[in-house]
Structure 1
Amino acid sequence: MVSALGMTAFLGGCGSTGSSDVTLRLVAADYGDSAANSSQKYWDDLARAYESGHPGVKVKVSVYSWTDVDRKVKEMADAGDPPDMAQIGAYADYADKDMLYKADDLLSIPVQADFLGQLSEAGQLRHVQYGIPFAASTRVLFYNKTLFARAGITSAPKTWDDLAADAEALKAKGVKYPYALPLGPEEAQAETLQWLLSGGAGYTDDIGTYTINSPQNAETFTWLKDELVGKGLTGPVAPGKLNRAQAFSAFAAGEVGMLNGHPTLMQQAAKQGVDFGMVPVPGRNGTPKATMGVNDWMMAFKEPGHKDQIGDFLDFVYNEKNVLAFSREYDLLPVTSSASDVMTAADEDKKLWPFLEELPLAQLYPFGKTSWARVSADVKKDIGRAVGPTGDPTAVLNQLQTTASDAESAQSGS
């Protein structure tokens, strides 16, 4: 990776930065699963490569786990000291407060035109793009072939009933996590959306109105509570306490029969010799309403006032070779057409082709809603209670719906 970044040091963003002796601060999320492949190493290499061609600019990158990074940026912004750039999970609340630069104020035309159209549109608030796509993924069901064979399971599940029956068979053979259900605070909003889609609904309806407490969603979480969690099929850690990273590590350790995962899990499981398969996420009666897609965002704050330098650095970040280096390091999907075209044609990226094919039709979070950051935070905090021993799925979904509706009303009234 270092050599790839080094080669592009002078290929992207070589224009004048308009000033000298500027330090750009970037807060970014960690996509690694250990210190050895922490995103801090990726960003440090990229920053040094950029600085070698731009002696007047320093780039200081602080990387935090997904559990902490959104909160860290919010604390900095609330204190009136936002970073120059943040690479996090939501942008619209900052854009609505007029804290962000528009994408076309920062990026060169070729770079801006290279983003996948669906992702660029998702980065818009009131038809203006503030969120710059950074990394994308879709989800599939991963299953441990060795554990399936031990339990006498001959095919991967296609429906919820199949999944529950397979989980029962795995439990009978002593599998620690027959189905890992990570509804802990790290990424509960993702696991939740996968289940809502597989139940025929989602966070919003077709016109973008929040429908978190729809009858379909209540049925989905009631089924999870009664048929998986209540029957002891989700493992020793309560779903509300189980984070995605923990679930992935357990899968890589051979302790999980099934879980929903994104491409990064392939590398993690393969490193530890797990023989795994991947199939579409099962739906209530078969194929889900839609595949879930996730896109993470880059954004730039106005407050530090380094527009020219930020734009020049971001042009470099989104150089084709740098996008490919990041995507290949973490088994994620590139957000640019040029890098996607390379990966679709390269045999070395063959394992990602199923995910690349799904992305154009995947359903994303309602990123363009200024309320989404608050709603997402509440889902992370509260959704695990819905499937707990004394949990009431309908009550929890009603509470989340009230939060979402209040946030929308406050926005429309501002």
Structure 2
Amino acid sequence: MPRTARTASVGIAVALALGLTACGSSGGDDVAADKKQTLTVWAMGAEGEKLADVAKVYEKANPNITVKVTPVGWDVAHQKLVSAAAAGTMPDVAQMGGSYMGEFSELGVLEPVDTKTFREKDFFPSGWQQGEVDGQAYGVPWYVDTRVLYYRTDLAKQAGITKAPTDWKEMQDLATAYQKKAGTKWGLSIQPSGLDTVQNFYSFLYSAGGEIVNDKGEAVIDSPEAVKALKEYGSYFSKGLSNKSVPPGYDVVKDFGNGRVPMFFGGPWHVTLLNEGQPQLKGKWAVANVPTDKSSVSMAGGSSLVISKDSEHKAAATQFIKYLTDAKGQADWYKRTKDLPANTTAWTSGDLANDADLQVFKKQMDTAKASPSLPNWTEVTDKVDQAIAKVTQGKASAEDALKTAQSQIEGLVK
């Protein structure tokens, strides 16, 4: 998934309203993989643009296959998929984020993964889990992402600190030292409110041992672990270490470059943004794993590749996805996009094995946690967003804010 992609829980209702009653039936006899045919593929955002180049290479090696790639913007991807599902016009292969999986599996439009061809053990656990719904895999992990801590090493040295923070106390001590000794405006950039605030909160919640919904499908956001995490998160705002008001479209990379913000949680794409957009920072920043409470656990993101239940080209689609997700294909995809490989074997050689910063991401992915594949996950996390905002703005205690969220979420997961 992209950094801001969301799914709308109304998708199922919309699809049903459009008459989606027969999805899940076979599209007819499957065309053999070696027969001449055209595969339709939808890929989102930047991946949609890059995949067309890979498809050309694939076609040269497989002249019987024409791969028709349609790039789709993430802002319209959900609605296009819902409409296609309702009309029975899903592409043979589609890119799908974990937050879509529960919804579209419930609609009955996804083909279960062939687990003889795609083995769970070849992928990061959280990457595989993003494609699962109720224990059934519907998506093959294509790429993954997670969040790690970015920090200014030069400003840390000015503040008298020469190593990355490893736990919550060290992270807050560094944030304080940045302000008091290095003269930064803020100590740590974390989101105070608004859409997807929960993505910044996950590093605190999961590291404390908390969850929003547990493996049994029960709401547990008011647990002692979650309360502890939100208290810690809120303390950055009550102590003036983090900005209570962040404008829409805020560019943390710019403030990281000018020194107003010396520390933030970011994804792998921030490496490229910093190298290309803030070249003056070369050698003055580093990444570190999420500081621990009970452990170091970050959120898992990324995308999977799914096959339409009604596709008549399942065999060819399976072979194309195999090409994209084996170790060689994953290493090639990283070179083209800088998307982190979901296949762990791709990390054992080349740049991925030798780059110390990338290995920080790999270590974080080893423990990263995937969100539950619930059709209404967006509604669930919206309640957590609201609770976080109450605390960061000083309008409620962590206990009271999460008690309210717990009650709201219980009504959504019954």
Structure 2 Cα separation of the partners of residues 77 and 392 of structure 1? 44
Cα deviation per residue 1:106-148 (whole Å; 9 max; x = unaligned)?
x8x4444673262435533233211221212343322101222
1:16 partnered with 2:21: no
Contact kept in structure 2, 1:221 and 1:387, CA below 8 Å: no
Structure 2 Cα separation of the partners of residues 366 and 170 of structure 1? 33
Q: Secondary structure of the equivalent of 1:101?
A: coil
* Structure 2: runs of 5+ lacking an equivalent: 1-31
Give the match for residue 360 of structure 2.
Answer: 354
Give the share of equivalent positions with the same residue, in percent. Answer: 20
When the two structures are superposed, what TM-score results if normalisation uses the length of structure 2? Answer: 0.74
Give the match for residue 263 of structure 1.
Answer: 268
Cα deviation per residue 1:334-365 (whole Å; 9 max; x = unaligned)?
22243233359843x443223323433x1422
1:280 partnered with 2:289: yes
Give the match for residue 5 of structure 1.
Answer: none
Structure 2 Cα separation of the partners of residues 122 and 405 of structure 1? 22
Cα deviation per residue 1:170-196 (whole Å; 9 max; x = unaligned)?
334542442110366665343221111
1:169 partnered with 2:174: no
Contact kept in structure 1, 2:98 and 2:373, CA below 8 Å: no
1:46–1:392 Cα change, 3 Å: farther
Structure 1 position 152, deviation (Å): 4.0
Counting only pairs closer than 5 Å after superposition, residues 96-245 of structure 1 correspond to structure 2 as 96-104=106-114, 109-112=116-119, 115-116=122-123, 118=125, 119-172=127-180, 173-182=182-191, 187-205=196-214, 209-225=218-234, 227-235=235-243, 237-238=245-246
Contact kept in structure 1, 2:148 and 2:364, CA below 8 Å: no
1:327 partnered with 2:344: no
1:379–1:236 Cα change, 3 Å: closer
Q: How many residues align?
A: 373
Counting only pairs closer than 5 Å after superposition, residues 71-82 of structure 1 correspond to structure 2 as 71-72=78-79, 75-76=82-83, 80=87, 82=90
Structure 2 Cα separation of the partners of residues 301 and 336 of structure 1? 22
Contact kept in structure 1, 2:221 and 2:406, CA below 8 Å: yes
**Bigger mean CA deviation after superposition, 73-82 or 311-320:** 73-82
Structure 1 position 102, deviation (Å): 0.8
Give the match for residue 59 of structure 1.
Answer: 68
Cα deviation per residue 1:196-220 (whole Å; 9 max; x = unaligned)?
1233323344766331122332232
- Please, what is the CA RMSD of the aligned residues? 3.6
* Structure 1: runs of 5+ lacking an equivalent: 1-14, 31-37, 410-414
Give the match for residue 372 of structure 2.
Answer: 367
The amino acid across from 1:270 in the alignment is N
Structure 1 Cα separation of the partners of residues 395 and 352 of structure 2? 51
Give the match for residue 4 of structure 2.
Answer: none
Structure 2 Cα separation of the partners of residues 381 and 64 of structure 1? 27
Structure 2 Cα separation of the partners of residues 41 and 149 of structure 1? 41
Structure 1 Cα separation of the partners of residues 400 and 306 of structure 2? 35
Structure 1 position 101, deviation (Å): 0.8
Structure 1 Cα separation of the partners of residues 112 and 385 of structure 2? 29
1:393–1:19 Cα change, 3 Å: farther
1:50 partnered with 2:55: no
Give the match for residue 11 of structure 1.
Answer: none
Q: Secondary structure of the equivalent of 1:179?
A: coil
Structure 1 Cα separation of the partners of residues 158 and 407 of structure 2? 46
Contact kept in structure 1, 2:230 and 2:388, CA below 8 Å: no
Counting only pairs closer than 5 Å after superposition, residues 85-104 of structure 1 correspond to structure 2 as 85-90=94-99, 91-104=101-114
Give the match for residue 28 of structure 2.
Answer: none
Contact kept in structure 2, 1:213 and 1:398, CA below 8 Å: yes
1:265–1:88 Cα change, 3 Å: same
